[in-house]
């Protein structure tokens, strides 16, 4: 028994692909390609987040050091103010 190559489809054409090719030939159109457009606002947000990344990482390192040394102080009043709206609803 002979086994054909695994990547080869023997004589069966893809009807969907053939239909697309025929339509493209009829209308003289080329295949469209996907395109992505990024808004200026999104570009600005990306730039500002990248600029703030260094400052943010510095702040996080300071917080880690203060927690590790035991000098970090938690303000219970601020936590309560933030939790209160969720507890009321």
Question: What pLDDT, on a 0 to 100 scale, did the predictor assign at position 82?
Answer: 92
- What is the average pLDDT value for the chain, to the nearest integer? 83
Does residue 60 sit within a domain?
Answer: yes
Vertex 63 angle, CA 52 and 78, to 5°: 90
Q: Which domain holds residue 78?
A: 38-89
Does residue 61 sit within a domain?
Answer: yes
Distance CA 72, CA 65 (A): 9
Residues of the chain whose pLDDT is less than 70?
A: 1-13, 28-31
3-state secondary structure (DSSP) of residue 33: coil
Question: What pLDDT, on a 0 to 100 scale, did the predictor assign at position 31?
Answer: 64
* 82 close to 73: Cβ distance less than 8 angstroms: no
- Domain count within the chain: 1
Does residue 23 sit within a domain?
Answer: no
């Amino acid at each position: 028994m002979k086994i054909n190559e695994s990547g080869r489809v023997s004589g069966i054409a893809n009807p969907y692909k053939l239909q697309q090719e025929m339509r493209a030939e009829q209308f003289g159109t080329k295949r469209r390609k996907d395109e992505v457009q990024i808004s200026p606002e999104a570009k600005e947000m990306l730039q500002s987040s990248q600029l703030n990344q260094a400052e943010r990482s510095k702040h996080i390192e300071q917080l880690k050091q203060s927690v590790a040394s035991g000098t970090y102080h938690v303000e219970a009043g601020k936590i309560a103010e933030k939790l209160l709206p969720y507890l009321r609803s």
